[in-house]
Structure 1
Amino acid sequence: MMTGKRRKTRVSLIISTYNWPDALMLCLQSVLSQSVLPDEVIIADDGSGMSTSSVIKAFEQDFERTVKHVWQEDKGFRKSLILNKAIKEATGEYIVQIDGDVILDRNFIADHLFVAEEGCFVRGSRGMLTPEKTRQILLAKSIDIHCWSPGIRNRNNVLRSQFFARLIARKSLSSKSVRGSNLAFRKKDFELVNGYDNDLTGWGHEDEELATRFVNSGIYKKVVKLAAVQYHLHHKEASKNNEPIHADAVLKKRMECAVFCINGFQQI
């Protein structure tokens, strides 16, 4: 018989967002539907307007645990900085990080706890929704989606089996192909490498740069499939003007085996 014993690992779910309240509303609906709820939800808001605040306030009424809205003034794309600020507010020892334009499978948090491992950070994947499917979901304001729904690209990324997920998970000291939309790590490891690099402004590679320093410090990347499923809403890509600069920063950190950034978590 189940005793209802509370799990030992305290989870902080970090959700980054910027001025897409309709998508954030769906994302937060999927948080409410989780089979295992995170202990707190922290919205890392890179300067959104009042419509986003209204969505978060409505969510607070329904979510029975802690909700924090960490906001900074809109001065361009500063995702690294707002993530550092949000994680600074986190009380959980385990951080699960997503973007506010994804819909989570109901077992998303449960799966991340299932695959979590000391000495590792977890890189998940996502299924991409077509523009038409995204339009339909936004109009319906519904998170009723599953692996066989029409309009999903990368369908292999939304299949789920905990049993096989454990069998095929692989670990490596490689920081390539890491995306912050489905990422998990221990807060102590994040602090060890001084978090995100605040000097990386504009789109691109801030997550891979963090992963590079994780790997350089001996923390393995654990690639997970068939678990921690999420569906990504289609949208136009952000400006990639700074992407080459960020790519060079990642390469430099990799070549130098750097484990610490000068302007990061401790500097906010």
Structure 2
Amino acid sequence: MKTFSSSLIISTYNWPEALRLCLLSVKEQSVLPGEVIVADDGSTAQTAELIEAIRQTFPVKLIHIWQEDEGFRLSKIRNKAIAICSYDYVIQIDGDLLLHRHFIKDHLALRKRGTFVAGSRVLMNKQLSDKLVHLQKPSVDIFQSGLTNICNRFSIRWLSRYMADRYRNQDIYTLRGCNMAFWKEDLVRVNGYNEVFHAWGREDNEIAVRLLNSGLKKRAIKFGGVVFHIFHPEADRTRFRETDGLLLDSMLHKSVYCTQGLNQYLGSFAPVVQIESALAV
């Protein structure tokens, strides 16, 4: 398999069965990332044990970075992961996704200086999700029942290139943090994720606002970068009004930088837990 100098960040919290499927789908990529960093927002030891087991056959460098469980702190753990990325291009997903075998290849095909990339997802229903988790099967037949979002299932290179700069490029709501890609230097410029977000929602839209305000353009990865989302109950949205307010504040003030962000970890940050693949040494 080919590798490219990119870092893949996988966010996770207390769902090792889904994370294992996600990592297995990474192993099957037609083009591998240079490294994988699991950004763990306070999972129990079961997740660390899973990574310890799977690293023995993992084809690239595998790092597990962990922080104490003190509530929803996704922005913080993502910043910690970004800080230790070895490569200049960062692809970001969540640990409840199965990746199409050309996911990394599709993202790399759209990388372009002065831009960041936002993708979408295919939802799987509970029945299909439970089946795949039970069987630990990391691949999905795009025509099988139990899938939604028909147009999001296909990887078509020429159509992906055509749509990249045409599909809702100014819409900061048309993106999902579970499928994005950035140049690391751009994340450093806007100081990464805003850690004032302590509840689910809008942290991904807010960083997009600052990236756009800093002069970058948003590219859409449609008909490429395909991911399949494993069903789970919706996140707690009781504080959504609060996070929506933080987003609107950044929009109103045309923010390009956050004060509580990535710079806390650059240069001096050492991960609490780090596990590297023996094959990468």
Give the TM-score normalised by the residue count of structure 1: 0.95
In 2, Cα distance between equivalents of 1:79 and 1:93: 21
> Cα offset for 1:161?
0.5
- One-letter code of the match for 1:147? I
Contact between 1:203 and 1:243, CA under 8 Å: does it hold in 2? Answer: yes
1:1-268 aligned within 5 A: 10-170=5-165, 172-268=169-265
- One-letter code of the match for 2:129? T
Contact between 2:27 and 2:59, CA under 8 Å: does it hold in 1? Answer: no
In 1, Cα distance between equivalents of 2:247 and 2:259: 14
- One-letter code of the match for 1:134? S
Contact between 2:100 and 2:139, CA under 8 Å: does it hold in 1? Answer: no
Contact between 1:173 and 1:218, CA under 8 Å: does it hold in 2? Answer: no
Contact between 1:103 and 1:232, CA under 8 Å: does it hold in 2? Answer: yes
Q: What is the CA deviation profile of residues 205-250 of structure 1, one whole-angstrom value per residue up to 9, with x for unaligned ones?
A: 1111110100111111111111010100000112112211111111
Give the TM-score normalised by the residue count of structure 2: 0.90
Q: What is the CA deviation profile of residues 143-173 of structure 1, one whole-angstrom value per residue up to 9, with x for unaligned ones?
A: 2312112110112111120111111222534
Larger RCO, structure (CA 8 Å, separation 6 or more): 2
2:271 paired residue number: none
> Cα offset for 1:178?
1.9
Q: What is the CA deviation profile of residues 97-140 of structure 1, one whole-angstrom value per residue up to 9, with x for unaligned ones?
A: 00000000010000000111111110011100001110111111
In 2, Cα distance between equivalents of 1:226 and 1:45: 29
In 1, Cα distance between equivalents of 2:54 and 2:104: 18
- One-letter code of the match for 1:124? G
> Cα offset for 1:38?
0.5
In 1, Cα distance between equivalents of 2:140 and 2:220: 24
2:279 paired residue number: none
- One-letter code of the match for 2:23? L
> Cα offset for 1:174?
3.6
Question: What CA RMSD, in Å, does the superposition of the two structures yield over aligned residues?
Answer: 1.4
Contact between 1:213 and 1:260, CA under 8 Å: does it hold in 2? Answer: yes
How many aligned residue pairs are there? 263
Contact between 1:173 and 1:219, CA under 8 Å: does it hold in 2? Answer: no
In 1, Cα distance between equivalents of 2:45 and 2:31: 30
Contact between 1:174 and 1:220, CA under 8 Å: does it hold in 2? Answer: no
Identity over the aligned pairs, expressed in percent? 40
